[in-house]
Chains A and B, each alone.
Chain A
Amino acid sequence: MSIVIPNTATPRRLSSLNVEIREMTKPLLPQVADGDREAIQECVERYGRLIWSLANRLIPNKSEVEDAVHDVFIEIWQSAAKFDPSKGDELTFVAMLTRRRLVDRWRANLRRQVGNVDIGEVEIAAPMVRDRSEVNDEAEKAYRCFEKLTQQTQTVLKRSIHDNLSYAKIAEQLQLPLGSVKSYARRGLIQIRECMGRNIGATAMENS
């Protein structure tokens, strides 16, 4: 089963899609942690595409993508028991583990290349077109908070988190000092986290 909701001709309200997504994504990791073969299989089906696409974006060397995906799944099997639904949804947890492992690998690659390649040249992804129909609750909240940031901060965060560009490259592209780029990125993330915390409170009040 895939988490991807097919595009519809008319835009659908995200809240109703979220209900669908929630139904489709009842947590699997507690069963995975017990070694349940069906849950493991379902986990590969459900998150494989997300992991594959993140790996393709974050690993510049395409011949290493399959290896990276293997590593990510091992990380998921090892960490499945740590999943705590009270802290957030499973999709975000899986995405977090995926990024953690891929970024480790990406940094290792960077170190290997840094001798003869400028870090700023390691560019991975082309600009993308967003499809909001694939987001989950937490991602939707994150995006709402992201939209409240200044344009400059949004640009820095998007190029850093999504496009995986180095700060040096972003600084060069935006003609900003390196320290400012770092500052924009960190402060932007702090603001999003704070804003998401407030949103969670507001949602709880709306639901009560």
Chain B
Amino acid sequence: MNTNSSYDSRREQLLAGKAMSDLDRDEQLELEHSMTEEELQRIEEYERTVASLDIALHSGVERDSVGDLTDSLKNQILSEADSFFARQQTQSRLAQADEPMVRRASEQTNANMEPPSRWNRRELLAWLTTAAASTTVIGSWWWHNQQRNGLTKDKLSRTELLASARDLVQAKWQAGKHPLDKPVTGDVVWSSSYQQGFMRLMGMPLNDPLREQYQLWIIDPLRDDEPVDGGVFDVSQAGEVIIPIEAKLHVTKPTAFAITIEKPGGVVVSKQDRLPLLAVVQ
């Protein structure tokens, strides 16, 4: 009972500490170990409490002394908002355009594959054979279609990010500590304000996801000494591939990006035994 209560009290202090951004590295690891959804919500409640108290403590005198946004800054913010929502709408339209195509295909498949209402063994066997063949064909078509649409969608999203991000960083891939057999070209783009970025890779060897996967790491020394996990990904087609970056933490100012080869599912901390590609922000 006492042990539980002291554990709860310790957890509560860590949650409060997280909301106040005061956890040291060990405490951060302790908190992240087995953190529940409910605890994540509690952290947000604590953050709200901090914000409420800050508003209450905030001085009118101080506000007056620093003034307000200038008209020029307001206009810049509104113009950025226009770009942001335009990008969002395009992405949402692209996502919607993908959906009906897949739904239509699956609806059609289902309609054609409605089993006969009265069964005899021969009919059942014929129906099962057709269904299995259709599933294979549709599955294969769907997979290739998804690959193509995904690439188009990511390509458009990348182009939009290039056009709208004010703080875009761009770096070219170069051979890392353990170069690949054939050179890979391309670049990586990242916007910290949008927390969005893309890798463009040409000539990247295909991987077998059951044996190994690629993992991106974002080096952001201002944020942390440890690189930020940028997501695990596969390369399943030759030629140009565009992969969206999925940073697991907020990235402040990246100085470099590295791709490692890891076991399926990726790792929390990379030993960097295989680091074929690196992109350094100039």
Contacts and interface: CB of A to CB of B under 8 A. Distances in A.
B77 interface: yes
A87 interface: yes
Interface string B44-82: 111111111111111111110011110001101110111
B127 interface: no
A74 B74 contact: no
Interface string A107-148: 111011000000000000100111111111011111100100
A74 B194 contact: yes
Interface size class of A (residues with CB under 8 A): 35 or more
Interface-centre pick from A87, A104, A183 (highest chain B CB count, 10 A): A104
Given A157-B53, A161-B53, A185-B22, A73 B80 contact: yes
A192 B66 CA distance: 29
Contacts of B50: 96, 99, 161, 189
Given A73-B77, A125-B62, A138-B48, A95 B20 contact: no
A121 B59 CA distance: 23
A108 B223 CA distance: 5
B13 A91 contact: no
A35 B56 contact: no
A130 B58 CA distance: 6
Nearest to B249: A104
Contacts of A45: 74
B279 interface: no
B89 A111 contact: no
Given A129-B59, A130-B59, A69 B253 contact: no
Given A193-B45, A193-B49, A108 B77 contact: no
Interface string A34-77: 01010011001100111111101100000000110111011001
B17 A96 contact: no
B12 interface: yes
Contacts of A29: none
Contacts of A96: 44, 47-48, 50-51
Nearest to B81: A40
Nearest to B24: A182
B217 to A, nearest CB: 18
Interface in B183-202: 192-195
Contacts of A91: 55
A22 interface: no
Contacts of A1: none
A143 B53 contact: yes
Given A108-B252, A190-B16, A52 B77 contact: no
Contacts of A73: 77, 80-81
Contacts of B47: 96, 99-100
B73 A66 contact: yes
Given A69-B69, A128-B59, A138 B166 contact: no
A198 interface: no
A52 B69 contact: yes
Interface in B97-123: none
B250 interface: yes
Given A44-B74, A52-B66, A134 B252 contact: no
Given A40-B85, A183-B13, 13 more contacts: A7-B60, A35-B85, A37-B82, A40-B78, A44-B78, A48-B74, A78-B84, A91-B55, A99-B51, A104-B223, A136-B52, A143-B56, A186-B16
12 contacts: A49-B63, A69-B69, A88-B52, A92-B48, A92-B55, A93-B51, A99-B47, A131-B59, A143-B53, A146-B53, A146-B56, A161-B20
Interface of B: 12-13, 16-17, 19-22, 44-63, 66-69, 73-74, 76-78, 80-82, 84-85, 88-89, 166-167, 192-195, 221-223, 250, 252-253
The 10 closest A-B pairs by CB, nearest first: A131-B60, A35-B85, A128-B59, A142-B52, A143-B56, A95-B51, A108-B222, A139-B55, A96-B51, A139-B56
Interface of A: 4, 7, 35, 37, 40-41, 44-45, 48-54, 56-57, 66-67, 69-71, 73-74, 77-78, 87-88, 91-93, 95-96, 98-100, 103-105, 107-109, 111-112, 125, 128-136, 138-143, 146, 157-158, 160-162, 167, 182-183, 185-187, 189-190, 192-193, 196
